[in-house]
Structure 1
């Protein structure tokens, strides 16, 4: 069925189905298990970010959804239509799935308008095609630039054109493959906000693949955290950060200091190197107490500590402190942090999360959740 360009994006899912269904999907490359029984669902108009370290399988998942790779097991469906099963593989051009790559990959010999309109049905009236091109350029903040050539645009503008080109035919699914990785940090923040707004304004269903937790947490309605080919947690960004399912997710998403759980008392308090703290989520299998830096308050009272390092970010700073027993803990202070070497007191503010699971292998380096 051809994709129309004159009507608003309609909900194409049938009752009881999802816009995207990933059911028990497995994919191997020789002895390497890239995807291991992955299950994901995304509703129409939703925005899912697949987040994980390099080699976790997120890019393989995107390539399987796009049709660039065949799955070994499981089922992939887009708006109720199976696009991949073992032995059945719908090619990319028949899936009506749009991909926005890491670099815009625009056609250099075509104008901006012609790039955006490239995927629109040729049999559509010219005026109708032009209206949709102008609409998409306005969505991405490039109204009036249709006559320019790609080489006349900045890198951020080229990525906006790539998004407009993906949105133009109103595909059932838009896949974004780390589309901001080649851009400057300040431009990434602005562009990801505008991309999110454009996708929502057009009613698009989208999946973003990224290793940058700032992108995942700030852009998506739902975040899927992957490791070693498996999905560890799928939840809204706030829940992934505040209520991680295990110690690994806690340490990967944002800065986290984890302390062993010796057991809770009748009042739900736990003894830690930071004193007695209140815990939530204390399941029977909980092994660690999660303390986020923003919970560690520095003042003249509390547990004595010495400032080891200060990572200044302008609006705030991440301060690493050493307790007298050598335990290291981090605190997120304001724009005027204490100096390295200073003696301070610290206390934990608010309840902490109790999480299960150890930390097998080296835990990932924490990334700022901004």
Structure 2
């Protein structure tokens, strides 16, 4: 076993002459003299170890578990580079290390806003004071309290939006001001401005090593206004019986649509996907009550990007990049699609929106591994809810 950790090395050495079985081995036995144990346990302040100084460091993107190491990057309208980073902790159980997302001196569970040329934080970032070192972690932090901000993008007016992939109960679209705290791990969900305590994390004790208060103290600070939490722009329950739309794992948020290729009602819409179901939705960046189901796809769209031609391009887990068409039903036939040379055989996936005058088609593009044609019936619903 590794001393003072929860790591057990499985293995052994041949038994001594005359003995039977295996002789237990330790990390020190296996590695020999000068071994450096860079493992960590739940009580350690951070899991980064500097082998030269012998000190644990926290000015890095920590990954305590096999999930949520990083997210996305996008240039803002201000020219800054925005970087989304997940909590880096376990998705299987309550992980006390997740409280680092509430510490501005840790980079986990944050949106960073940095100079793209130097990697330094910017002097007008929300936690920077005059004279601060712009290379310090807190100088780079723009927003905090995030679990897994998988993808990010900007609305036409410069507001930042993100798909924050949830834990066991909720999926969220977030948007907030500089310095916004979205509440993870103490809050997750609900919708329409409601804040719900996260089961499991709602009983965490204080953690002096991470300078983290108990969950009870955190909730008290929220109640008295010392800590302000920004509710989700929209939240979607995992419960299939919940009202409105549900989602199991949200991804895909990018810049809001600003082109003129689609009907006017799609302008300022944010496209996103529930990857568990392969369902694609749009949410109006200017009206949080307007969320529409668009189509379902077996290719599982995971990323959306508006091209210079005004169309949305979709990256799919099936290994294809498609161009999304949203147009009047029964349009004239299309005879071309984007390719390296500007022409190719057309292969359309047609999705009829049965409660609308529009249909949605995915035209297979330059990265396609197949040209399968599929047709799916779906409904194009408007969801009304209080904001």
Taking structure 2 as the reference length, what is the TM-score of the superposition? 0.28
Q: Greater relative contact order: 1 or 2 (C-alpha under 8 angstroms, separation 6 or more)?
A: 1
- Name the structure where helix makes up a greater proportion of residues: 1
- Name the structure where strand makes up a greater proportion of residues: 1
